Amino acid sequence: MLIRYVANGEEREAYGGCADFSLERREDDRRRTLVLTANTDLKLLSYEEQLPPSICGKRVGADNLLFLNGYQSWTDSRERHFLRFEKNLLHLPKGLLDAYSFDRYGDYHFYPYDVRRVHGYDVFYRKGGRNGMLLNLNYKKAYMIIEADRRTGNILLKSDVYGATVKAGQSYPVADYMSYPSYEEGMADLKRRFPDRSPQKIFGYTSWYNYYQDISEKIILRDLEALDERFNLFQIDDGYQTFVGDWLDVDENKFPNGLSFLPEKAHARGLKAGIWLAPFVAEKKSRLFRERPEFFKRDKKGEFVKCGSNWSGFYALDLENPDVLAYIKKCLRHYADMGFDLFKLDFLYAANLPEYDGKTRSEAAEYAYDFLREVLSDRLILGCGATLFNAVGKFDYMRVGPDVSLSFDDAFYMKFFHRERPSTQITLQNTIYRSFMNGSFFGNDPDVFLLRDDNIGLSKKTRKALLTINALFGSVLMTSDNVGEYGPEQKAAMDKAFELFHEAKVLSFAKRGRLIKIRYEFRGKENTLKYNTAKGEIL
């Protein structure tokens, strides 16, 4: 094991305990914990250990399938052969990265991507000739990064302790994880360790995937009127505000009567009302960015911390500034007091994109997500663009994949960019492979289904697959279609999916090549379907 740290202003490293600290190793059945006790003030930089054969079996074999959980909601997360290349941004010129900030959406700014390795976060399993699973129990303190060497098959475990400060005499858990001899045993224990978190299922509407920011009071009212009594949520998405960050400045051209009509109308029809915000960021064109620069976090060079290129480019708020927290609270409570029941809170990875002294990345996210839960203690939260383990016990629902794209894998050139890009192909696989989180961590949101025939590039077969898989694996089943325009075939498909959503139970899934075989029970009968991941079709 190797620990890198700073003591007395000097960067040091040690293999095990040393004069600066002691290490206590605790092993209880399959749980392995390492606790550091400082003899002098320390700032931790990294911890890593090569897993011995006794932990999670022998090294990864060529016949294994690996599940490597992605960094945040949108990061591709699927079972894969360990020899398969992991996407990265190493091939992109610096000018392109600087212009479009592709490296801000995931872990590219702190994790050293290498074509020789594949990696994932907090939960890892493998199936095949050498079975096994790892689960991070230290996620509130530090993310666990699992690396598999594509050449040797060896597994390296890293604890993302960067930023943690340990005073002399204090102790800090640098690693705490479970190892299991099989996927089945690991999943059974995960379900035992995480209590049931099965919120009410949502069958709803969101405005985003048809109109994007081009919404208006007229469009919202029309689509609301089209929903029947089975729907229980109507959520307005991005586009009601003048600029991202100026949440209280409603666009008067689109919504001359403000937004108070929406919860009133939704409640009158027996639906919950939802609203979208990105509480930890603001875009460059916003009044907030222009008038309150002290609200924004700066890096060590004194520059604002950019979080991506959406809108006019957007930047991270300083979540240690009390005035910033007061502003976020004011905005959230404004809409809660207006009557909105559910808050879709987006781009939450911005909580720990900047460095905060004395906090690891995970601790920064824990602090920020706890704040959101405290402010909205009486409301439902759907997290998006968030680090998933930090959301456990804080958010009711969580997006588990990237945005659905209107063509199967989005524009061809997007394949060369970040792992968090919109893609129906990727999000369908995330929906399946992250399904173990559903009901244990939160209710999974697989993103929307789309059945409409206009403003869409998905084939009918892919639209059917999207609807079916979302209904089987999620706790949220939403659309952005104006369902009032559905014909008989689309209505019948939605009717069937509604029944699956509420009555079906997935029994198992298994990947073989490009096919995923899914077994599920519906009304006392076992059914099987095969999903082709390359074509986006159910066979």
Q: What DSSP state is assigned to residue 293?
A: G
**For residues 441 and 194, is the Cβ–Cβ distance under 8 A?**
yes
- Count CB-CB contacts under 10 A for residue 379: 20
CA-to-CA distance for 175 and 442, rounded, in angstroms?
24
Alpha helix segments (H runs only) across 118-230: 183-193, 208-211, 217-225
CA-to-CA distance for 52 and 154, rounded, in angstroms?
9
- Count CB-CB contacts under 10 A for residue 170: 12
| Residues β-bridged to residue 23 | 36
Q: Is the pLDDT of residue 460 over 70?
A: yes
The pLDDT value given to residue 277: 99
The pLDDT value given to residue 3: 98
Pairing verdict, β 342-345 and 380-383? parallel
Q: Is the pLDDT of residue 92 over 70?
A: yes
Mean pLDDT is lowest, of 14-18, 54-58, 87-91, 307-311, for: 54-58
Q: How confident is the model at residue 278 (pLDDT cuts 50, 70, 90)?
A: very high
- Count CB-CB contacts under 10 A for residue 347: 25
The pLDDT value given to residue 55: 65
CA-to-CA distance for 66 and 81, rounded, in angstroms?
6
- Sheet with strand 505-512: strands edge to edge: 505-512, 515-522, 525-532, 537-538
Q: Which two tokens stand for residue 183?
A: 């996927």
Q: Which two tokens stand for residue 259?
A: 């937004």
**For residues 163 and 357, is the Cβ–Cβ distance under 8 A?**
yes
Burial category of 43 from C-beta neighbours within 10 Å (exposed 0-12, middle 13-18, buried 19 and up): middle
DSSP secondary structure, 198-261, as one string: -PPPEEEEESHHHHTT---HHHHHHHHHT--TT--EEEE-TTSBSSTT-TT-B-TTT-TT-STH
**For residues 188 and 197, is the Cβ–Cβ distance under 8 A?**
no
The pLDDT value given to residue 57: 59
pLDDT in tens, 15-67: 999 999 999 999 998 999 999 999 999 999 999 999 876 666 566 766 789 99
The pLDDT value given to residue 131: 85
Q: Is the pLDDT of residue 82 over 80?
A: no
- Count CB-CB contacts under 10 A for residue 152: 10
Q: Is the pLDDT of residue 294 over 90?
A: yes
How far from the centroid of its chain's Cα atoms is residue 406's Cα? Answer: 20
pTM of the predicted model, to two decimals?
Answer: 0.97
H or E stretch at 532: strand 525-532
Tally of helices (H runs) and strands (E runs) in the chain: 11, 29
Q: How far apart are the first and last CA of the chain?
A: 48
Q: Choose among 392, 377, 478, 435: nearest CA to 197.
A: 392
**For residues 435 and 475, is the Cβ–Cβ distance under 8 A?**
no
CA-to-CA distance for 388 and 172, rounded, in angstroms?
23
Pairing verdict, β 123-127 and 132-136? antiparallel
Beta strands in 269-356 (DSSP E): 272-277, 281-283, 306-308, 314-316, 342-345
Burial category of 228 from C-beta neighbours within 10 Å (exposed 0-12, middle 13-18, buried 19 and up): exposed
Burial category of 534 from C-beta neighbours within 10 Å (exposed 0-12, middle 13-18, buried 19 and up): exposed
The overall average pLDDT reported for the chain is: 96
**For residues 473 and 443, is the Cβ–Cβ distance under 8 A?**
no
The pLDDT value given to residue 56: 62
Instruction: Give me the phi and psi of 115, to 5 degrees please.
Output: -65, -15
Q: How confident is the model at residue 84 (pLDDT cuts 50, 70, 90)?
A: confident
Q: Is the pLDDT of residue 414 over 90?
A: no
- Count CB-CB contacts under 10 A for residue 501: 23
pLDDT in tens, 315-369: 999 999 999 999 999 999 999 999 999 999 999 999 999 999 999 999 999 999 9
Pairing verdict, β 117-121 and 144-149? antiparallel
Beta strands in 39-89 (DSSP E): 42-50, 65-68, 79-81
Place of tokens 């075939």: 489
H or E stretch at 471: helix 460-473
CA-to-CA distance for 42 and 162, rounded, in angstroms?
11
The pLDDT value given to residue 413: 86
